[in-house]
Amino acid sequence: MLILSCNGVAKSYGAELILDDISFSVHQKDRIGIVGPNGAGKTTLLKIIAGIEGVDKGCVNIPGSISIGYLSQHPVLNENQPVWDYVMENFYDLIEMEQRLRELERAMTENQGRELENLMAAYGKLSEEFSDAGGYGYKSLIRGALKGLGISEEKFHTPLGLLSGGQKTRAALAKLLLKKHHLLLLDEPTNYLDIEATEWLESFLSGYEGAVMIISHDRYFLDKLCSSIFEIRNNHLLEYKGNYSDFVLQKEAALEIEFKHYKDQKKEVERQQEIIRQLKSFNREKSVRRAKSKEKQLARMDTLLKPVAGEEKVSIRLEPEIKSGRDVLTLEDVGMAFPDRLLFSGVNLEVYRGDIIGIIGPNGAGKTTLFNIISGKISPTSGNITKGHNVNIAYYKQQEDINPDNTVLDEVWDKNPRLDTTCLRNILAAFLFKGDDVYKKIRQLSGGEKSRVALINMMLSKANLLLLDEPTNHLDIQSREVLEDALIDYTGTVLVISHDRYFLDRVATRIALLTPEGIDLYYGDYSYYRMKRQQEKENFGQQENGMTRTAVRQQRKKERAEKERLRQKKRKLQDMEEQIIGLEEKIKQMELSLSQPEIYTNPEKSKEIHYEIVGLKRKLDELYREWENMSV
């Protein structure tokens, strides 16, 4: 079924051309990813389709029966309306039918005879309609969508105005998904979702009956979901079949073909120009006429422009000023609790030079809090952190050092005076500060732009341990690739919080899943982590077979308690071993002292030391017995 067709659409803002000669069609169940540099016109295209923006030229044809849902990056909501009531607006017809059913139920208890028969017939018919329309499942759908997108049940009845910006966007997305439009237009839907919520959204959209058009910088998301990619660049739209990875390969192949055609035409033009030159050199009427004829043919030729692969990718080299020791960071039983709740406990992690560890977990798990503890901004409520030799930390989230009166150019240059102008401008351009943008004052920048400045400063610092909290936010795909390439070649150590699974697949050497009970460590990239988690679920599912949910929860609780018991036992054994070594060394030194003249010539002193040795040996025997009992 045809959802819409777009024919020759052009759009300008003042003298600036945004879109030109855009044509495509969308059919039912299409999954279209829209990519391109920031400012290319992706959001403008969605707004045109949604009817929010008009066109200067061309047209968008949408059949009258087609409904379109649009999710903007900043939805406008009724701040006083509770979350549940906001999403329930989708189901007013069902709510009215449900109320009518309750009225019929009351009426049936108050009537009899013929009137009761009529009421029962009406109730049966309405009940069937209610069931067919999903009346017995819509509340479960709402609950599933809200929870799937990361809004907990305790927030269901919270006014929208009390939610964070990300939570508002998730509530708007939940409502939009449940409306069952023929076409969904989603502008960066995964921006405020953690990995778990993003995977829920992938699953939901995969089974969606309508078509979906998505603007996203999440390459993993585009790979999993999309059947075609629209690239908007230089005001035009190019369509590629397949997912994002297919698009990358097709684009490279198309570029090679374009270069070949360009070089072949250039060679042919040069050949024809040489023929024309020779014909003119003959200086005969016939040869001059032939030369003019060929000149006209060349003039009519459609000259191919030199293919442009896009903006040249900038390479940034990260190099620590001082090499750290092999052991960079040790976390032992680190925990963080607040008066009203425990955030996490029992966090144990060994970080070695050269590690790039991806820290993942649901929103609210405490990932940023853990970084604040590691950086020394706050103290944990339990446990210890040991920093290795020559470890120098740079924390991306810290923006206190940015001077609001500086321009972007001066801010980075002041901290990196060794860079020349060309190099500095290239680095700024790689992170989306181009042209006159570099002369903006820091105080004029958005939160996302300030974050990008902080990221540049951090990357150019000489630190050897980088703490990166969502570094790919506010970056387009090309800028993300610049960051990835720099981190892959980095000789220091990196801890990175990220929901960007494609990014984690490219850079991470280990994945650390933060849970309330500690950290589960996986030795590989994100795809390896996901495979192992699936295996764990399947194995656990086999163990759970035949068990009730309560029994499963109790089993999990027992397993966590046993894991904690074994960890404490190991720690206690290590403490006892250290005490045994210390006592044995002390006894040895005291026994040696008995052979010294000043001691053995002094009976009182010799007797005192002898009794002390006897006491220490008794204590040593007790420790050995306890150690043997615990080691069984």
Mean local confidence (pLDDT), 189-210: 90
pLDDT tops 90 at residue 223: yes
Confidence of residue 560 (pLDDT cuts 50, 70, 90): low
pLDDT tops 70 at residue 99: yes
Mean local confidence (pLDDT), 241-247: 93
Separation CA 96–CA 93 (nearest Å):
5
Confidence of residue 466 (pLDDT cuts 50, 70, 90): very high
Residue carrying the six token digits 């901290």: 415
Mean local confidence (pLDDT), 128-134: 85
Check whether domain 1-67+181-242 has CATH 3.20.20.70, yes or no: no
- Who has greater pLDDT, 106 or 314? 106
Alpha helices in 111-164 (DSSP H): 113-132, 138-148
Task: Give the pLDDT confidence score for residue 105 in this predicted structure.
Answer: 82
- What SS3 string covers 339-360? CCEEEEEEEEEEEECCCEEEEE
Residues in the chain: 632
- What are the domain boundaries of the chain? 1-67+181-242, 80-179, 249-300, 327-539, 565-631
Check whether domain 327-539 has CATH 3.40.50.300, yes or no: yes
pLDDT tops 60 at residue 398: no
**327-539: same fold as 1-67+181-242?**
yes
Residue carrying the six token digits 């900038």: 314
- Helix, strand, coil percent content, the chain, rounded in steps of 5: 50, 20, 30
Confidence of residue 550 (pLDDT cuts 50, 70, 90): low
Mean local confidence (pLDDT), 476-498: 88
Is residue 586 exposed (0-12), middle (13-18) or buried (19+ Cβ within 10 Å)?
middle
200-215 per-position pLDDT tens digit: 999 999 999 999 999 9
Percent of the chain with pLDDT over 90: 35
Mean local confidence (pLDDT), 20-32: 94
Separation CA 111–CA 336 (nearest Å):
63
Three-state DSSP state, 467: strand
Residue carrying the six token digits 């009427």: 285
Task: Give the pLDDT confidence score for residue 22 in this predicted structure.
Answer: 94
pLDDT tops 80 at residue 278: yes
Confidence of residue 138 (pLDDT cuts 50, 70, 90): confident
pTM: 0.70
For the chain, the farthest-separated pair of C-alpha atoms sits apart, in whole angstroms, at 135
Q: Check the CA dihedral 45-51-53-56 and report its sign.
A: positive
- Who has greater pLDDT, 627 or 235? 235
- Who has greater pLDDT, 293 or 447? 293
Mean local confidence (pLDDT), 187-195: 87
Confidence of residue 166 (pLDDT cuts 50, 70, 90): confident
319-331 per-position pLDDT tens digit: 787 888 889 999 9
Residue 7, Ramachandran bin (φ over 0: left; ψ between -120 and 50: alpha; else beta): beta
Task: Give the pLDDT confidence score for residue 401 in this predicted structure.
Answer: 66
Alpha helices in 135-218 (DSSP H): 138-148, 165-178, 195-206
Mean local confidence (pLDDT), 426-438: 83
Average pLDDT score over the chain? 85
Q: What are phi and psi of 610, to 5 degrees?
A: -60, -50
User: What is each CA distance from 34 to 43, 186, 198, 234, in whole angstroms?
Assistant: 9, 10, 18, 14
